[in-house]
Structure 1
Amino acid sequence: MRKPLLTVWYNTRCPVCDAGIDRQKRRLIDAIKAGCIAFRDINGEPAALAGYDVSLEDIRRRLHATNADGRLLVGADVAIAVWKATPGEGWLATLFGNPVVLPLTRFTYDRFADLLYAWNRRKGRW
């Protein structure tokens, strides 16, 4: 089996993250079956991105992904890459990933991720 074009690392212990990824998985079933994209639970492989100098807590805080070239994507850039791969959601990637809007997209994603991370910590989801 070939290496996926995109491997997304996420935190299944976060109910919001898990639900969002489950939704994307349903929309990307053909790409997953073809081995083009993979979704991996970081809790099952906590050292998976250690070579990128990324901690487990970093990945629990924000989505991380590696592309086919081995480049690391973080946060909003992962969401944009997933939208590009998802049928019917390319327009989201175009809208939120264009050079004018991208800084605001990243800022908004990061603030939401910070709030979600804090909420999960308070709830003891680690």
Structure 2
Amino acid sequence: MASEIAKAGGARPLTVWYNTRCPVCDAGIRLQRSRLLEAVKAGRIEFLDINLKPDALAQFGAGLDDIRRRLHATNENGRLLVGADVVLEIWRRTPGQAWIAKLLGAPGVIALTRFAYDRFADLLFAWNKRKGRW
């Protein structure tokens, strides 16, 4: 869908790369995707499984394990977002959740948000690895 929009000269969507082999990650993205159904249908945001295209973000130096560990996305300008910054951007676009992004992305709070996200992501990555999901 993103390529169709780009060919038509429209704006590129927020493209979120996530790991469907992680049950927690997959469930979270499924929930957000349902909340963002209109944006998905309109091509303003897309959610893609990194396991189907492991080298998708190689030009940014992001390998498969990087994306399995933390969400990655490219925004409308082609800029790479990682981790908590992806979650904040998704919340900004989700009806009724922009206030969460504003609160957790505020100056003075964003560093704590990123730290908490990264620690949770590290634990989740290790748990998935122990469970043999990749």
Structure 1 unpaired stretches of 5+:
none
Shift of 1:100: 1.1
Q: Distance in 2 between matches of 1:48 and 1:68?
A: 16
CA–CA distance in structure 2, aligned partners of residues 99 and 6 of structure 1: 23
Runs of at least 5 residues in structure 2 that lack an aligned partner in the other structure: 7-11
Matching residue of 2:75:
67
Give the one of 5, 10, 34 matched to 1:26: 34
* 2:9 alignment counterpart: none
Aligned-residue RMSD, C-alpha = 0.7
Between the two proteins, the alignment pairs up a number of residues equal to 126
Which residue identity lines up with residue 103 of structure 1 in the other structure?
A: A
Which runs of at least 4 in structure 1 moved beyond 2 Å after TM superposition?
none
SS at match of 1:39: strand
* Offset from partner CA, 1:3-53 (integer Å, 9 cap, x none): 443000000000000000000000000000000000000000000000001
2 CA distance for matches of 1:2 and 1:68? Answer: 11
Question: Which residue, 110, 122, 127 being the options, matches 1:102?
Answer: 110
**What SS does the aligned partner of 1:125 have?**
coil
State the identity as a percent.
Answer: 65
Which of the two has higher C-alpha Rg?
2
For 1:73-120, what per-residue CA distance to the aligned partner results, in whole angstroms no more than 9, with x for missing partners? 000000000000000000110010011100000000000000000000
The one-letter amino acid of 1:2's match is I
TM-score, normalised to structure 1's length? 0.98
1:9 alignment partner, SS class: strand
TM-score, normalised with respect to structure 2: 0.92
Which letter does structure 1 place at the counterpart of 2:109? Answer: V
- Which residue of 41, 48, 57 maps to 1:49? 57
